[in-house]
Structure 1
Amino acid sequence: MSKRGGEELNGAPLKAGQRPEHGAQNEEGLDFEDDFEDEYESEDEVMEAGVDGRPDAEREAEQKDAMDIDNKEQTFIPGRSVLQAGLSLTPDPSTYEMLHVMSTTWPCLSFDVVRDNLGDNRKRYPRTLYAVAGTQAEQSRAKENELMILKLSSLAKMDRGDTDSESGDDDDDEASDPILESKSIQLPSTTNRIRCFQPTQVSNDLSQIPMTLTATTLENAQILIHNVTPHLKALSTPGFMLQPDASKPLATLKMHRTEGYALDWAPASSFPVGRLLSGDCAGQIFSSQGTEAGTFVADSKPYVGHAGSVEEIQWSPSEKNVFASASSDGSVKVWDVRSKSRKPAVDVKISDTDVNVMSWSRQTSHLLATGADDGQWGVWDLRQWKPQGNGGQIKPSPVASFNFHKKAVTSIEWHPSDDSVVAVASADNTATLWDLSVEIDDEEYGKEAGLGLGEGAEKVPPQLLFIHHVEDGKELHWHPQMPGTVMVTGGSGFGVFKTISV
């Protein structure tokens, strides 16, 4: 397990650092009874032998060994250990099953995982994954921005010097180095958010590349739709040549007056040709509909109701006509696309700061997780969000709430198959994994005396499973076909990891 620590975090789960050395006891002025009169003839010989009757050299050597043991790194356990003032946390690679980091020419602060045709529930190593990402080049070099189609392969398991493998004894993972390959499409501006969509179901036929579209919302307020299927085929098929027009966008949407960050495709089961929602910094939300001809048409009338920037949009996993939006106005609103008024059906104030991110559970569709600018994140039961008359906002209480992160929460996502596990990224340089099924034990966590809390000590929620270091973390996603595998991006590049605890 791993916990949050000081500035020495370096991309791994953590162990407790060194504890302050105990001060030496002052032996001057002590009055000893002569318990050793059978062994020593005088008090001088007793003092010369030390307080326990042994020679000073032997006693001092034992004290030194004991102090060395006391200062060794010890496992930091959530709910049981407390990070005392002045202590730091150091990495423990043994808690990773897999860990790889890589960088691109420019930071990619938004990305999406692409479902592939290599099979579901993959556990063998080495591993391969595909993703799409948009770059954030310096303003003076904006022409260098790209939509990147990525293939990460030869992702090896951590070498811990043993031959045991939960994923099978036939893993071919001998000293393989990770490989990053990419194809690119030039973009006119920085990418704020990118999401991919696959109109057809992914096949297990390795010769078939699933059709994959991307929507990229740019800093210049445009949204570009691309078909990146040929680029994926070029990465997976040796000798495949891209056609000259392969990078041309299918559509360029210009309905937004300001840039935005909120973007989400409707599930293909609901809208097979693609339906896209996008939100902007002016508080407006637009819907764009795909056509059989492969083009996209944007609605002229937006959904309105937010008093601030729309930061996140998510379609309901169970209701094809319902979506939710989160905003810098501190609210989450639930909408029905069939409403002619284009106003929210439910309006909930959940934070006094920006609500940056949101995730709708695919397993339990009445659960919604949100993350805010003040570092707090929480889980909400949508069954408690009942519409109120007169357009008033309701103020429910969260099912669970955590104030662990020290800076803004920048990404949050439910585990694709376990509705008790949530991944969170933060601007405090950490990505965390949480298990909401863990219950608080008052005897171990709630009673300060039992934990030995001191001044400046920090309690860690027992639901916290793991911490991964990522510089200026921006976005993370679970891989839907490799259980427990997380991909995360930040200012220093990408990380792909799987812990032994998830």
Structure 2
Amino acid sequence: MAKRTAEEEKATGPLKAGERPDAMDIDDKNDDMGEFEDEFEDEFESEDEIIEAGVDGRPDAEREAEEAMDVDKSAPETFIVGRTKLEPGQTLTPDPTTYRMLHNLSTPWPCLSFDIVRDQLGDNRTVFPATMYTVAGTQADRAQANDNSILVMKFSGLSKMQGADDDDSESSDDDSDEEDSDPILEHKSIPLNSTTNRIRAHQTPSQDPSKPPVTLTAAMTESTNVLIHDITPHLASFDTPGTVITPQQNKPICTVRAHKSEGYAVDWSPLHAAGRLLTGDNDGLIYMTTRTDGGGFVTDTRPFQGHTSSVEEIQWSPSEASVFASASVDGTIRVWDVRSKARKPALSMQVSNVDVNVMSWSRQTTHLLASGDDAGVWAVWDLRQWKPSAGGAAAGTTLQRPSPIASFDFHKEQITSVEWHPTDDSIVAVSAGDNTVTLWDLAVELDDEESKDTAGVQDVPPQLLFVHYQNLAKEVHWHPQIPGALVATGEEFSIFRTISV
């Protein structure tokens, strides 16, 4: 969670609290005065037993208690989103005791879309310092648009927080425990002449079993083109010193030119090994591009049509190879089957009265779908409830909206990203335009006693686990191989893992 601290002022004055004047120059050798004699021969108790009023006339205990209260008032306080307000001069700083890992890394230009690349370092890694690979597209200023690029990155030296306990007893033997080491960001740049709106990575098995998988990226650009690159040599170069990336390796292996307007919706099918890509644009059209047996790509010129406004998000079903869902500015989520010759949605559900910006399909419980809209509301839907009415409905007909199984009006700005935990179907990460990334546990239910304890916390749902501050928060992704680790992007990259997840 974040804590707020008052801005420190530079004190001016003779002495600061805790400082003492220089000792007086007293000649201890002069003992001519001899010993002091008490003519009344009063008896005094030892010093540690004397109970007297302090220098201000009050008992020491009373004065010390008041001083302790004054210290508490200046100490950092917990910042609760929706309840606490920052005063002028106050800023948010992370509470290190709530993180197992926390690092912020900057790139030459902000990268408002990125994806995590699976590596060959093993699954369920708990050893520190951690290493991870990502790919991102930059958002350079329009005046310097030629500075845009795709960044293939390696994050290493990601140490745990000092004092954080290992959650895996086996990891302590291999843990180098470099808590004070600095993280390292290495990158290879692929020049572009356009901003990247959305980028996604896909891995396909190499024809040579002894080699790592081929890693492809699809970048939906502001120029309306979708650029597909093979970044396999870029990733390999991090672990092979002296490797030089050739200009030919920086060129796209395919450029999809089917779109007549720019777009933001991109997704690779997780069930089509060779590579099957969906892209959606601001005209509401969705195109499918498939990799052929020969390694080339073919784009079907017949678009999927049904949305009445921009397609903001596309997600393939994690369990059915021919099914995908799309979210749109028209407030609907539509479910499609690529085998349909009509290229029309099988189901359409009005899930919001405003733009639906993002969506996530649960990998663990595949009838659950999460959505996030422009009003800051995110919700969870049970797709089993999305059925035509008793009288039947034609394919593509918008159905009467069922109630979501969960809905949270916590964020007060647009939802910019939502993603289910890769192995826990109750945990969801959400980022929003209020500069926060939040973690949620849908399994939390309060009993009567717990409700009393939280009655004073207004507008904070009990399912809210954690709030992470991220300036210009745009996308957040769970790392699929490092349990509980997240990467978020905005003004900079934030890599973190909380104590609670």
TM-score by length of 2: 0.82
What is the match of residue 171 of structure 1? 175
Q: Is 2:198 the partner of 1:193? A: yes
> In 1, are the aligned partners of 2:206 and 2:212 still within 8 Å (CA)?
no
Cross-structure match for 1:289: 290
1:344-396 deviation digits (Å, cap 9, x = unpaired):
11110111111100000000000001111111101111100113514242201
Classify the secondary structure of the residue corresponding to 1:249.
Answer: coil
Q: Distance in 1 between matches of 2:375 and 2:291?
A: 37
**Match for residue 95 of structure 1?**
98
CA contact (8 A) 2:350 2:401 kept: yes
Alpha-carbon deviation of 1:70? 5.4
Give the Cα separation in 2 of the matches to 1:179 and 1:360. 33
**Deviation readout 1:397-431 (Å, 9 max, x if unpaired):** 11111111121110010010111110011110001
Cα 1:345–1:98 shift into 2, 3 Å: same
Quote how far apart the aligned CAs of 1:128 are: 0.7
**How far apart are residue 467 of structure 1 and its match?**
1.2
User: For 2:97, what is the secondary structure of its paired residue?
Assistant: helix
How far the C-alpha of 1:155 sits from its partner, in A, is 0.8
Rate the CA distance shift 1:84–1:149 in 2: closer, same or farther, 3 A.
Answer: closer
Aligned to 1:30: none
Q: Does 1:417 align with 2:426?
A: no
Tell whether 2:155 aligns with 1:156: no
Change (3 A) 1:245 1:340: same
8 A Cα contact 2:99 2:499, kept in partner: yes
Matched, 1:494 2:493: yes
Alignment gaps of 5+ in structure 1: 10-48
Contact 1:263 1:277 in 2 (8 A): yes
Paired with 2:192 and 2:484, the residues of 1 have a C-alpha distance of: 33
What is the identity, as a one-letter code, of the residue corresponding to 2:281?
A: D
Work out which of the residue numbers 227, 230, 239 in structure 2 matches 1:227: 230
- Give the drift of 1:170: 3.4
Letter in 2 for 1:397: S
Matched, 1:71 2:73: yes
Kept after mapping to 2: 8 A contact 1:116/1:210: no
Q: Which shifted more, 351-360 or 459-468?
A: 459-468
Corresponding position of 1:213: 216
Q: What amino acid is the match of 2:495?
A: V
Q: In the alignment, which residue of structure 2 is the partner of 1:357?
A: 358
Q: Tell me, what secondary structure is at the counterpart of 1:419?
A: coil
Q: CA deviation at 1:163?
A: 8.9
Q: Distance in 1 between matches of 2:298 and 2:86?
A: 58
Relative to 1, partners in 2 of residues 1:367 and 1:311: Cα closer, same or farther, differing over 3 Å? same
Cα distance between partner residues in 2 of 1:164 and 1:411? 28
RMSD across aligned positions (CA): 2.9
Q: 1:7 to 1:282 in 2, by over 3 A?
A: farther
- What does residue range 42-191 of structure 1 map to in structure 2 within 5 Å? 56-58=58-60, 60-65=62-67, 67-68=69-70, 71=73, 83=83, 91-160=94-163, 166=169, 167-174=171-178, 175-191=180-196
Question: What is the rounded CA distance, in whole Å, between the counterparts of 1:421 and 1:198 in structure 2?
Answer: 25
Alignment of 1:379-418 (within 5 A): 379-388=380-389, 389-390=393-394, 391-418=397-424
Q: Is 1:340 matched up with 2:341?
A: yes
How far is 1:236 from its partner? 1.9
Instruction: Among all aligned residue pairs of Structure 1 and Structure 2, give the percentage whose two residues are the same amino acid.
Output: 54
Post-superposition shift, 1:241?
Answer: 3.0
Give the aligned residue type for 1:278. Answer: T
Structure 1 residues 97, 215: CA separation in 2 closer, same or farther (over 3 Å shift)?
Answer: same
The 3-state SS of whatever aligns with 1:236 is coil
Cα deviation, residue 184, structure 1? 1.0
- Say which structure, 1 or 2, has more relative contact order (CA 8 Å, 6+ apart): 1
Give the distance between the partners of 2:349 and 2:70, measured in 1 at CA.
55
Q: Give the Å deviation of 1:151.
A: 0.5
| Deviation per residue, 1:56-114 (Å, 9 max, x gap) | 35465044145247537588599xx9946678875311111111101111111100000
SS at match of 2:233: helix
CA shift for structure 1 position 292: 1.8
Change (3 A) 1:163 1:358: closer
**CA drift at 1:209:** 3.1
Q: Which residue of 2 aligns with 1:434?
A: 440
Question: CA–CA distance in 2 between the matches of 1:8 and 1:348?
Answer: 48
Distance 1:484 1:372 in 2: 25
Q: Which amino acid aligns with 2:153?
A: L
Contact 1:331 1:347 survives alignment (8 Å): yes
Aligned twin of 2:18:
none
How has the CA–CA distance of structure 1 residues 386 and 245 changed in structure 2, closer, same or farther, with 3 Å as cutoff? same
Aligned-pair distance for 1:244? 3.7
In the alignment, the residues of structure 2 paired with residue 121 and residue 164 of structure 1 have an alpha-carbon distance, to the nearest angstrom, of 12
Cα 1:202–1:442, aligned 2, differ >3 Å: closer, same or farther?
farther
Alignment check: 8 A CA contact 2:358 2:373 kept: yes
CA distance in 2, matches of 1:452, 1:65: 31
Structure with higher Rg: it is 2
Deviating 4+ runs (over 6 angstroms):
5-9, 85-89, 161-165
> Against the structure 1 CA distance between its residues 470 and 90, is the aligned structure 2 distance closer, same or farther, given a 3 Å change threshold?
closer
> Residues 61 and 164 (structure 1 numbering): CA distance in 2 closer, same or farther, change over 3 Å?
farther
1:484 maps onto 2:484 in alignment: yes
Aligned partners of 1:347 and 1:394 also within 8 Å: no
Query: Any conservation in 2 of the 1:209–1:232 contact (CA below 8 Å)?
Result: no
Residue pair 2:4, 2:77 contacting (<8 A) in 1 also: no
Note closer, same or farther for the CA distance 1:6–1:287 as it changes in structure 2 (3 Å cut): farther
Residue 21 (structure 1) aligns with:
none
SS in 2 for 1:56: coil
Contact 1:209 1:233 in 2 (8 A): no
CA distance in 2, matches of 1:165, 1:392: 49
Output the CA distance in 1 between the equivalents of 2:222 and 2:114: 15
CA contact (8 A) 1:8 1:90 kept: no
Which residue is equivalent to 1:34?
Answer: none
- CA drift of 1:246 comes to 0.8
- CA 1:173/1:333 → structure 2, altered by over 3 Å: closer, same or farther? same
Distance 1:410 1:323 in 2: 20
Change (3 A) 1:163 1:386: closer
Deviation at 1:235, TM superposition (A): 1.2
TM-aligned CA deviation for residue 55 of structure 1: 5.5
Q: In structure 1, what residue type is equivalent to 2:125?
A: R
Q: Distance in 1 between matches of 2:198 and 2:386?
A: 28
> Residue 266 of structure 2 aligns to which amino acid in structure 1?
L
Counterparts of 2:166 and 2:360 in 1: how far apart (Å)?
A: 38
Paired residue secondary structure (2:156): strand
Aligned counterparts of 1:494 and 1:202: Cα–Cα separation in 2: 34
- For 1:498 and 1:95, how far apart are their aligned partners in 2? 9
Using the TM superposition, give the Cα deviation of residue 200 of structure 1 relative to its aligned residue in structure 2, in angstroms: 1.6
Count of aligned positions: 445
Distance 2:166 2:152 in 1: 35
Amino acid at match of 1:172: S
Structure 2 CA distance for aligned equivalents of residues 334 and 7 of structure 1? 48
